[in-house]
Amino acid sequence: MAGKDDDVKVLGVVVSPFAIRVRIALNIKGVSYEYVEEDIFNKSELLLTSNPVHKKVPVLIHGGKPISESLVIVQYVDEVWAAAPSVLPADPYDRAVARFWAAYIDNNMVPGMVGVLRAATEEERAAKADETLAAMAQLEKAFAEVAAKNGKPFFGGDSVGYVDLALGCNLHFLEAIRRLHGVALVDAGKTPLLAAWAERFVQVEAAKGVVPDADDAVEFARKIQARVAAAAASTAANYTDIQC
């Protein structure tokens, strides 16, 4: 069996928020890993056999054993490399609160964000933008509570934690939405705490070189939108492929 730091591979897509989570988590832990870029329009045999159920990135392969679903992977990384800085808090109640908000992000914020990018009509886009704004307002409130309690810079406290990873991996797409559609989802006016938090997040050492430039997200979003617009959208690979 491979040693704990040996033989770690990540199958990802550079712009995939979910792959970004995994890569930052590994960086926080100081784990060296091989990164393999997937083409979601032409998936590798390794991806298809490693995640036969969902056929999506990210996949972490550790000592030959594959793990899928980004939040599952992040928790695995936190448990295996337990001696390194923690991603989840130590206290069970704090862990539950972190898991609650991470689930909120994936179930309430991300579907709205994806909906803005994939909307077939401007009416649908506006509805999805409202849905996402409502979720961002909830997250602003959640962060206000954290900040009021301990005045720390991140959901995780002094350093980036589970909720920071869950939310921060989406920042390049939020910026892409602002550029493409003029909707500011993280904004100094409406969500001042999250706007300041976002600036801190991208500067964290573990996130450097992992959070892509918004230009890449814009380009990717345009490709997806072209596919959605095309009649082939229903059968072709689409944005949901980069979800996990």
Site of interaction with a second copy (CB under 8 A):
53, 62, 65, 67-69, 71-73, 75-76, 79-80, 92-93, 95-97, 99-100, 103-104, 138
Least spacing, CB of residue 72 vs a second copy, in Å: 4
Residue 103 tokens read as 């689930």
Q: Comparing C-alpha atoms, which of 173, 166, 168, 169 is closest to residue 215?
A: 173
Q: For a second copy, give the closer residue by CB, 141 or 152.
A: 141
Q: Minimal distance in Å, beta carbon 125 to a second copy?
A: 21
Using CA atoms, how far apart are residues 121 and 128, in angstroms rounded to an integer?
A: 11
> CB-based contacts of 116: which residues, under 8 Å, 6+ apart?
125, 128, 129, 132, 177, 181, 183, 185
Structure tokens at 95: 């862990």
Minimum CB distance to a second copy, residue 91 (Å): 9
**Closer of 75 and 191 to a second copy (Cβ):** 75
Nearer to a second copy, 72 or 120 (CB): 72
Of 60, 24, 11, 18, the residue nearest 170 (C-alpha): 18
Cβ neighbours for 235, distance < 8 A, ≥ 6 positions apart? none
For a second copy, the closer of residues 41 and 100 by Cβ is 100
The least distance separating a second copy from the CB of residue 16, rounded to whole angstroms, comes to 17
Q: Least distance in Å: CB of 63 to a second copy?
A: 9
Based on CB atoms, which residue is closest to a second copy, 43 or 99? 99
The widest CA-to-CA distance across the chain, in whole angstroms, is: 54
